[in-house]
Amino acid sequence: MLCRFGTVLCVTLADSSAADFQRAQDRAGVEVRSVVDPTDLAAARRIFDTVWPGEGTQVQQNLLTALIHAGGYCAVAYSGGEPVGAALAVVGRHLDAGWQVHLHSHMAAVLADFRNRHIGTALKLHQRMWAIEQGIDTISWTFDPLVRRNAILNICKLGVDVKGYEIDFYGQMPDAINAGDPTDRVFAWWHLSSAKVSDAIAGRLLPLDAAMLTQAGRDIRVVEIPEDIVELRGVDPAAAMRWRLSLRETLTAALTDGYCVIGVERTGKYVLYRERA
């Protein structure tokens, strides 16, 4: 496939992305590999259905097979030979001075007993390596802006740009995690060849200090999110809904007023910035 980065840059990115992935895989203690046979495919489906339990399956076998056959991405993370995580993405298009190709990451999941072991990062860096090998320079996905751990992973550890706010993007979802909660989402745009992404993966993209930025004369707004919205939904659904509606109002108003998300504080609060008039 023709590489959009240019030949020299493409080779450099391919080499560095492979090295970044290998380090992440070693750190997580897993083996991540693309789905190539029915055993891997079944493992991916089990992961998705376990993480998002509900009636039926998250992805029908024939649909998953078709997506992979059509050039999509699916990978499984194995620990000791057992599947513990999986990711699924499809090739899409977006308008940016004409139609541009990107990889849309639809699902990424890690079993509960294996979370906080950097397996999610290993999956994302495998996905990045795969995209670069295909000549794709951008990966996008949605995430729930209330989930603090995802915000920190996406913004600080991966270096994504956060854009847009879609109210109830997927509509009502029947799985045990999302049932009864509006599926508000923001979009992560991962520009794979950017210096920001390189800094994030190397651990150089640190949490921000909003107070210092404000003192420096920048127009800063801080938006708080709960420590663990998933746990809160289970113990106090009414409080979780209040958080949902409050964040929806605050973030949509800020984005409308010209603010953009530039990072997070150490406590997980979003830091937004706007150019002064």
pLDDT tens, position by position, 205-217? 999 999 999 999 9
Q: In the predicted model, is pLDDT for residue 8 greater than 80? A: no
List the domain range (segments joined by +) for residue 22. 7-206
Residue 265 pLDDT: 95
Both structure tokens of 270:
């979003």
Do the beta carbons of residue 146 and residue 243 sit within 8 Å?
yes
Residue pLDDT, tens place only, 146-183: 999 999 999 999 999 999 999 999 998 877 677 778 99
Task: Give whole-number Cα distances, 205 to 156, 213, 262, in Å.
Answer: 6, 16, 11
Amino acid identity, residue 230? V
What backbone torsions phi and psi does residue 99 show, to the nearest 5 degrees? -75, 130
For 36, 53, 258, the CA distances from 68, given in Å and listed in that order, are 9, 23, 39
> In this predicted model, what pLDDT tens digit does every residue of 123-133 receive, in sequence order?
999 999 999 99
The vertex-257 CA angle with 251 and 258, nearest 5°, equals 95
275 belongs to a structural domain: no
β-bridge pairing 161-166 and 185-191: antiparallel
Residue 82 within any structural domain of the chain: yes
Q: Give helix 7-28 / helix 119-133 axis angle, nearest 10°.
A: 160
Total number of domains in the chain: 1
Q: How confident is the model at residue 4 (pLDDT cuts 50, 70, 90)?
A: low
Q: What pLDDT, on a 0 to 100 scale, did the predictor assign at position 96?
A: 85
- Share of residues in the chain with pLDDT > 90 (%): 84
Q: At how many degrees (to 10) do helices 38-51 and 61-69 cross? A: 120
Q: For residue 77, what is the domain's CATH number?
A: 3.40.630.30
pLDDT, position 12: 82
pTM above 0.85, yes or no: yes
For the chain, the average pLDDT equals 92
Is residue 174, in this structure, part of any structural domain at all? yes
Q: What are phi and psi of 181, to 5 degrees?
A: -120, 130
In a domain, 228, yes or no: no
Q: Is residue 271 part of a domain?
A: no
Q: What is the mean pLDDT of residues 57-79?
A: 95
The answer to whether residue 154 sits within a structural domain is yes
Here the tokens at position 169 are 């993007």
